[in-house]
Structure 1
């Protein structure tokens, strides 16, 4: 079996947030076909319990714990050195030394970089014939540019600076690797505009979902109170776009919907809710669960998934999981970016408060509908193995294959 050096910015387990769902599925797939040498970080102490489980799939690895305090020191150093703040956070001598030794001793047949911040660890160390694939997921710099537009000074200045520094780094990464892969056609097209010098090396894949796990045919006990009519939001609740989404809904939509339907519940399901998210729990018609062992009961017994994202990059796992559960979706346009139009899918797009109030009220006024077309769409287009098989071809040196 060929050797793959896999560098990922966060331990690829458990698959409980967007990037870890992708990186975990990549590890699962490639460990079946390659001898994986994994370099990664643990940025959450709770994930230390999963290190052995991850390493069972790998030939070798270096897993470094990042202390929380480095977020501050890394940011300060980034400002001093004129670099993107997020890049400085991941500076690490131990991982750099391991990568150097691994390349020298193991001579990997290919390198997969998941998240651009990991690219600096292989820069200038590999022979030209070794394929290096940069899986960027989305255009991260554009997320910071959107943050800047939504904030006042000094945050607007800081976020705009981060956007510019990250874009310069993303362009450098794309130019120095064999191919850059984005999570959707739309993200790839955007990056081609931002980095025209590398446009011929930009590709896209799509996201996947475990349709056997997210299957409406399973039995789930109802986690809601009798008579409650529920719209559910799922996601990591320490992630700024998710925080802004639920806050926007509670500020602009909640009361109007409650006035029409007193049994309405907006249920926010996701780990690590911040203080501002927990404050929403005090509102009538809102429930914040925090982390739960299984999100599927909350999807199964809701009337629809409500995804009022005001800022989104790439394909939303929460949308695919809801579709796989045959759950109707009420969402802003941004939340559905990258997901193909599929005939008869029950996906309602509402981009302003009035449209969302109207659509939510209509959903709550009728029994739960089965979004069978949504599940069919997932089964047909969002299968992990199929998507990663396409991606794998970029890791194979065609001259060696011949």
Structure 2
């Protein structure tokens, strides 16, 4: 098929969870499809993907600071659409999409992120379309609301939450098919889309790249990896540093916590590193060394949706993972079998210190975690599920 994909940005380098998912799925699907890839950026070739034709679009997004940004936030108060949708609306992208449709026989339009629906809204119901949801975005906003202490911010977040929920409910039924990363997300979208139009295409991992390396771990090392310009990850690290890590250091004074990921805000980095034993690396060439060194991989998320690729990467490397239930949400993983789930700060800390004291006793959990990844979460097997969803969406419109 000829497939037109609309996305937020270029999926390479694969240094975010969204980019990892997009690249690993499309790089496999392009072996049997021709893909026209429209995105904001300037790259002209996606590495290893000869059948993906790149169509970059220039767009200068307002930096998330300064008077102009806050003016945009204020102006959004009178809009029925959430700010995240208005921010990504792009007339140049709409023009590029129309040019491609005019010049090519397109069998399917694939929207890679819910807010980008606005750029193809007029095509829904005209061409076969499929929406790829990485999260239930309104669920994330709801969790922002629950965890925000500033009353003014809380009120604004509440409005965004409700606008996003209304937007997701509206667009879900307009697509010929919707794919979600987890059963939890699929349950939400199934309530707002016609029967049979929602399926699960889970997140995955490159099980060869993220494999046990045989190195000796550093017994007191803890690690968290993720894009540190994403608010849920910032909240997770703040929560861990403020409420959990001090309890761990009481029992293990030599414990070290590494925060590994791109673009940590300077203010938060300085704040976190005021706590003894905390190191914030910023972007690194290869996260695997940090994961390999760790005695425990931690996922203290309180905000989020979809499912976490970071857990799959750690499990694939046969590491013991301690996570909140929100952190492991959407993955077919069981407490005490594949990983350890703790929500209370004291219980989280106690679990980590028990592992540091007697790590060999938890090696079986690490092995079971990797085995579950191999059986359920490889990109090769997952890409066939998305391929089937593509064909189903294309057939549904042709038969309409």
The reply to whether TM is greater than 0.5 is yes
Structure 2 CA distance for partners of 1:55 and 1:349, relative to 1, 3 Å:
closer
> Structure 1, unaligned stretches of length 5 or more?
43-47
Local SS of the residue matching 1:357: helix
> 1:26-37 alignment to 2 at 5 Å?
26-37=25-36
Deviation of 1:200 after TM superposition, in Å, equals 4.0
Q: Which whole-Å CA distance do the structure 1 matches of 2:355 and 2:216 have between them?
A: 22
Q: Which whole-Å CA distance do the structure 2 matches of 1:59 and 1:295 have between them?
A: 27
Match of 1:78 in 2: 76
Match of 1:356 in 2: 348
Match of 1:45 in 2: none
Q: Which whole-Å CA distance do the structure 2 matches of 1:388 and 1:346 have between them?
A: 24
Q: Which whole-Å CA distance do the structure 1 matches of 2:124 and 2:195 have between them?
A: 23
Is residue 241 of structure 2 the alignment partner of residue 246 of structure 1?
no
Match of 2:161 in 1: 163
Q: Is the 8 A contact 2:181 2:203 kept in 1?
A: yes
Match of 1:212 in 2: 208
Deviation of 1:347 after TM superposition, in Å, equals 1.0
Q: Which whole-Å CA distance do the structure 1 matches of 2:238 and 2:227 have between them?
A: 14
Q: Which whole-Å CA distance do the structure 2 matches of 1:183 and 1:283 have between them?
A: 36
Q: Is the 8 A contact 1:343 1:373 kept in 2?
A: no
> 1:193-212 alignment to 2 at 5 Å?
193=191, 195=192, 198=194, 200-212=196-208
Q: Is the 8 A contact 1:228 1:263 kept in 2?
A: no
Q: Deviations over 1:252-282 (max 9, x none)?
A: 1222211211111111111111121332112
Q: Is the 8 A contact 2:172 2:189 kept in 1?
A: no
Is residue 132 of structure 2 the alignment partner of residue 135 of structure 1?
yes
Deviation of 1:65 after TM superposition, in Å, equals 3.5
Deviates more, 1:339-348 or 1:314-323: 339-348
Match of 1:265 in 2: 256
Question: How does the TM-score come out when normalised to structure 1?
Answer: 0.89
Q: Is the 8 A contact 1:146 1:311 kept in 2?
A: yes
Local SS of the residue matching 1:146: helix
Is residue 388 of structure 2 the alignment partner of residue 390 of structure 1?
no
> Structure 2, unaligned stretches of length 5 or more?
none
Question: How does the TM-score come out when normalised to structure 2?
Answer: 0.89
Q: Is the 8 A contact 2:124 2:175 kept in 1?
A: no
Deviation of 1:54 after TM superposition, in Å, equals 5.2
Deviates more, 1:362-371 or 1:90-99: 362-371
Q: Is the 8 A contact 2:46 2:54 kept in 1?
A: no
Structure 2 CA distance for partners of 1:343 and 1:311, relative to 1, 3 Å:
closer
Q: Deviations over 1:362-397 (max 9, x none)?
A: 011124654111111111000112112112122223
Q: Which whole-Å CA distance do the structure 2 matches of 1:343 and 1:154 have between them?
A: 38
Q: Which has the higher contact order (CA 8 A, sep 6+)?
A: 2
Match of 2:147 in 1: 150
Q: Compute the RMSD of aligned alpha carbons.
A: 2.4
Is residue 329 of structure 2 the alignment partner of residue 334 of structure 1?
no
Structure 2 CA distance for partners of 1:149 and 1:166, relative to 1, 3 Å:
same
Local SS of the residue matching 1:82: coil
Match of 2:306 in 1: 314
